[in-house]
Structure 1
Amino acid sequence: MDDIENAKEFEHKRIDILSVSNLYKTKGIDLNILAVKKLIEEGYDVYYYVIGDGPERERLQRMAIDNDLERNIIFLGRLGNKEVLKYMKTAKIFCLPSYEEGFGIAYIEAMASGKPAIAIKGQGIEDVIKDGYNGLLVNPDVDEIYAALKKLIDDESLRTNLGQNAKNTVYKGFTWQSSVRKLIEIYESMLITE
């Protein structure tokens, strides 16, 4: 019986993780690769999809191969909006540990799809992602990214709650309608009334 219980402890449902970005060093894709490696070594059934292209692609693909991860890390290159949205819908977690990010529209797109996002503390997206409410914020560190991914993989309820809060955040503050409403409020506050 103990062997069956131990087997169930490591029985995990497949989890797809997604990043969408230009492939530059500061996007932290290499950190994700190493975090995914740790998850796989622990028996997690994870697949990491990387959408985008750039000067780091060859090095990152080589890194995946060197770590025997070519089956679990899939580089998709640049895709059109419809294809990106398809992957956004099927992914369970969006993780882009970019450590030089002004804002990052990809986070907003993932959040609008109801996905919890993992981002880096102290970057522009911190104005949108509130740690533990609609996503998770970490330092650009493999162990912290791994811990955040593991937390979301292990706790489906947390993943669902963060994803729902993420979606609500975007629909309340980052749609065309909300932007127009904010702009009208700014103009109205500037009007001089007599």
Structure 2
Amino acid sequence: MPILKSELPNIKMVAWQHNEFDVYIKNYYKRFVNDYLLGVKQADLVVCLTSADLIKYKNINNNSTYIYNPVTIQNTNISNLNSKNIIFVGRLILEQKGLDYLINIGKALDNGWRILVAGDGNDEKKFRHLIAKNKLQEKIILKGALKGKELSDLYSSGSIFISTSRWEGFGLVITEAMASGLPIISFKNNGPNEILKSGEYGILIKSNDVNNFTESLKELMEEKEKREYYQQKGLERIQDFKIEIILNKWSKSLRRIKD
């Protein structure tokens, strides 16, 4: 960004952030923190994904805003919540996505419940090894990377959606699951906390507390009325992520820096 800004001074620069501020600082750009912060400071507009991150970016560049990612999945087949399928969708990255947590959760499943996992990634081989090592082949089922109708059908086949990520800039799959009528249970980090509004629209569990996560999951498994409650809350919340609303926010923000 600093180089581009110096070479193209008359071009408006938008710094669109796709992950948490702290993840950029402590992980992705930890060797280039000053360059990253200078780029943020020089941008004509900074767009992040959550209100929590907005506070941090405002301290660097006052011309900052937050705009959600839109839900684009087309799914008119809302789950009836009758199956014993728990859905997990995401890249198979062991640490970030908390796949080790998923193993511990899988061990606690009974009465025919199972976790259907959609996604691929660099740690797929390690994850398969953990599943086999813990004899969970009947409880954690890998479906591979799905998209389109296959992904929509997977969401609709579930009764619960879980997110075990240690960090998540937003969590688009959570909104996709909500649009399909799935109640959500997630560890509390930036993205899920924003989407679920601190627990109003889904169940949030303190980070790393696998025991509490498992107990809360069991309650959802046992109580269909509770699943139905969070299904309705999710369908309410998902209206905020319609593509027309998101495009309108982008349009207003870009017009502001143009003028």
Mapped partners of 1:183, 1:57: distance in 2:
36
Kindly indicate whether residue 98 of structure 2 is the aligned counterpart of residue 28 of structure 1.
yes
Please say which structure displays the higher CA radius of gyration. 2
Q: What is the deviation of 1:79?
A: 1.4
Classify 1:79/1:183 alpha carbon distance in 2 versus 1 (closer, same or farther; 3 Å).
Answer: closer
Look up the match of 1:4.
none
User: Comparing both structures, which one devotes a greater share of its residues to helix?
Assistant: 1
Classify 1:186/1:58 alpha carbon distance in 2 versus 1 (closer, same or farther; 3 Å).
Answer: closer
Ranges in structure 1 where 5+ consecutive residues have no aligned partner: 1-12
Kindly indicate whether residue 212 of structure 2 is the aligned counterpart of residue 144 of structure 1.
yes
What is the 5 A alignment of 1:78-157?
78-138=145-205, 139-157=207-225
Alignment identity in percent? 29
Look up the match of 1:18.
87
Look up the match of 2:227.
159
Q: What is the deviation of 1:179?
A: 2.1
Mapped partners of 1:76, 1:179: distance in 2:
31
Mapped partners of 2:217, 2:178: distance in 1:
16
Look up the match of 1:3.
none
Q: What is the deviation of 1:150?
A: 0.5
> 1:151 aligns to what SS in structure 2?
helix
Aligned length in residues: 176
Mapped partners of 2:255, 2:190: distance in 1:
31
Mapped partners of 1:71, 1:187: distance in 2:
50
> 1:27 aligns to what SS in structure 2?
coil
Look up the match of 1:51.
118
- In the superposition, the TM-score normalised over structure 2's length comes to 0.62
1:82-137, Cα deviation, whole Å (9 max, x unpaired) = 11110100111111111121001101100111111122213222111135532111
Mapped partners of 2:229, 2:83: distance in 1:
19
1:58-87, Cα deviation, whole Å (9 max, x unpaired) = 111121112221012111111122111101
Classify 1:140/1:185 alpha carbon distance in 2 versus 1 (closer, same or farther; 3 Å).
Answer: same
> 1:22 aligns to what SS in structure 2?
coil
Look up the match of 2:66.
none
Classify 1:30/1:117 alpha carbon distance in 2 versus 1 (closer, same or farther; 3 Å).
Answer: same
Ranges in structure 2 where 5+ consecutive residues have no aligned partner: 1-81
Q: Does the 8 A contact of 1:14 with 1:47 survive in 2?
A: no
Look up the match of 1:10.
none
- In the superposition, the TM-score normalised over structure 1's length comes to 0.81
